Amino acid sequence: MSNDNKELVRRLFEEGFNARATDVFDELIATDYVEHAIEPFRNAEPGKVEGPKHMRSVVDWLVEQFPDVKMTVEAVVTEGDSVVARVLSEGTNLGRLGGVIPPTGNRFSARQSHWYRLAGGKLAEHWATRDDLTAMMQLGVLAPAAPPAD
């Protein structure tokens, strides 16, 4: 079962996000889905959403900002009904960042951890920890702090 769960998460990123074959979400994502990941520039979790529809909107949202976005699954670990993936995300910012900041034209490469709870053989709940600070610095949205004066 753990290999099946790993494959489910790999397909989510490889087929759904990278190949943009978002019909796969009907197969992988529970309709009754809880999203705990907060978008950059937001302060609230989406909460309970219609899973496949929500995931399609996430892909649309990402591709609008980063038309060449690619998410490489570097590792997947399972235990019980949980699956965790370490993912390297990369892309060029050509659309309004988070819907609010004009495109920078810069590339980013940053890691994320995605945690999923499975139910009924589908992904039913999601948490994410992203390195948004590194991404924002690479995109030119934030500048590194100046070194302290001697």
Which pLDDT tens digit goes with each residue over 68-94? 999 999 999 999 999 999 999 999 999
Q: Count other Cβ atoms within 10 Å, centred on residue 43.
A: 6
The residue behind tokens 């994410």 is 128
Interatomic CA distance for residues 141 and 43, integer angstroms: 18
Contact assessment for residue 17 and residue 59, using Cβ atoms and an 8 Å cutoff: yes
Q: How far apart are CA 6 and CA 19, in angstroms?
A: 18
- Taking the chain (150 residues) in consecutive chunks of 10 residues, what is each chunk's mean pLDDT? 88 98 98 91 84 96 97 97 98 94 97 97 96 94 85
Question: Structural domains in the chain?
Answer: 2-139 (3.10.450.50)
